[in-house]
Amino acid sequence: MFPQIARRLIEEFKPKNTNYIFDPYCGTGTTMLEAKLAKIESAGTDLNPMARLISVAKTTNYNIDKILHYRDSLSDDTFAYSFNKNKGALKLVDFKNIDFWFSRKSIFELTFLLNRIQDTIDEEYQDFFLVALSESFREVSYTRNSEFKLYRMPKHRMEQHKPDTFGIFFSKITRNIEGLKSLNDKDLDTYVHVHNFNTCHINPKEVLNREIDFVLCSPPYGDSKTTVAYGQFSRLSNQWLGVESASQIDNMLMGGNRKNDMIDFHSEYAKKELNEIKEEDAKRFIEVESFLNDYKSSIDNVAKAVRHKGRIAYVVGNRTVKGVQIPLDYITVELFEKNGFDHITTIVREIPNKRMPKANSPTNKKEKHHQQ
């Protein structure tokens, strides 16, 4: 989600007396950072450890001088590494297929950086450096970087691939320090809490122990495997950081567990679309229904945790399956209405170069009536 969208939604739609904002699919923490900038306490949850790491780093008040000090000492260490004749003493990180994705040289360099971060930096400052390292894993690896899913580059490109691991890592650090400096100018004492629970199964009230004034989020718009493969995208980084379930993340996310015998999602607003997909492709229909079943459970739980006269803002995408556009905007409205909410408005964003929705989509027809 673009920060500008979160910022505007907070400014224009938060209910009166908002003290607490919640994001049930917080990803890299855009909602929480914008809440913090608006001096409103917030919490978020995400099942992907990489997303949580970035969220925490993005919303922590680091002392910039300390960060610069750690950066300089890491830089000295990497300089010394080049002259170290005893590299064999390093206990290399290892996981399934590591050699498929990384050269031996890269494994040495990345292990060295990871060890230095974990051994020499104060625990509360480590996340800042681990975020830069996590981003470097992918660039250093043999993956085709332009894609979300994990594919290895062809053999001839692998032979030419000689990444400057330390250069890549420090360029990320430099960029993130610039970001941090712009935040450090502000007075940022507001709390942010990052959690790891699944709203499909848990009422947020049980974990947060307080009522929510405003929910602001951009949920997934389909299961990870067939839409945005968040788990695959972050798999190598999660594996490097020792996350045990790294290769299972897409299965854990919404719609990831297909339950053929439990397909019972119904929608008045999207009846026609769901029937069309069912007739077109039974397997795809099950995928869509599994996702929507989870989406419904999550909304039912989130709705219970919002206070009286509280509000929710969902930034959704209407994906197309088998040529049929699924009106997730309408489905979201319907699910919250069933929980006693009133719909205030749907704002349709124009996305340049994006294909137009199909003419027969109800979203498209009703778009004209939406307030913009």
Ligand X SMILES: C[S@@+](CC[C@H](N)C(=O)[O-])C[C@H]1O[C@@H](n2cnc3c(N)ncnc32)[C@H](O)[C@@H]1O
Options 5, 10, 14, 30; binder of ligand X; rule CB under 6 A:
30
Q: Which residue is nearest to ligand X (CB)?
A: 27
Inter-residue contact 305 to 22 (CB < 8 Å) = yes
Regarding 22 and contact with ligand X (CB under 6 A), the answer is no
- Name which of residues 197 to 236 contact ligand X (CB under 6 A): 198-200, 218, 220, 230
Q: State phi, psi for 307 to the nearest 5 degrees.
A: -70, 165
Inter-residue contact 29 to 183 (CB < 8 Å) = no
Rounded Cα gap, residues 278 and 286, in angstroms: 8
Regarding 312 and contact with ligand X (CB under 6 A), the answer is no
Between 133 and 254, CB nearer to ligand X:
254
Options 51, 132, 215, 312; binder of ligand X; rule CB under 6 A:
51
- Name which of residues 252 to 291 contact ligand X (CB under 6 A): 253-254
Regarding 310 and contact with ligand X (CB under 6 A), the answer is no
Could you identify the residue written with the tokens 């920060």?
A: 3
Antiparallel, parallel or unpaired: β 320-321 and 324-325: antiparallel
Regarding 299 and contact with ligand X (CB under 6 A), the answer is no
CA atoms within 13 A on the CB side of 266: 3
Could you identify the residue written with the tokens 């400014």?
A: 11
Regarding 47 and contact with ligand X (CB under 6 A), the answer is yes
Count of positions on this chain that bind ligand X (CB under 6 A): 18
**Count, residues in the chain:** 372
Rounded Cα gap, residues 196 and 123, in angstroms: 20
Between 79 and 148, CB nearer to ligand X:
148
Regarding 33 and contact with ligand X (CB under 6 A), the answer is no
C-alpha angle 337/339/342, rounded to 5°?
Answer: 35
- Name which of residues 124 to 183 contact ligand X (CB under 6 A): none
Inter-residue contact 188 to 35 (CB < 8 Å) = no
Between 113 and 219, CB nearer to ligand X:
219
Stretch of 42-50, 69-77, 151-159, 306-314 lying at the interface with ligand X (CB under 6 A): 42-50
Binding footprint of ligand X on the chain (CB under 6 A): 1, 25, 27-28, 30, 45-48, 51, 198-200, 218, 220, 230, 253-254
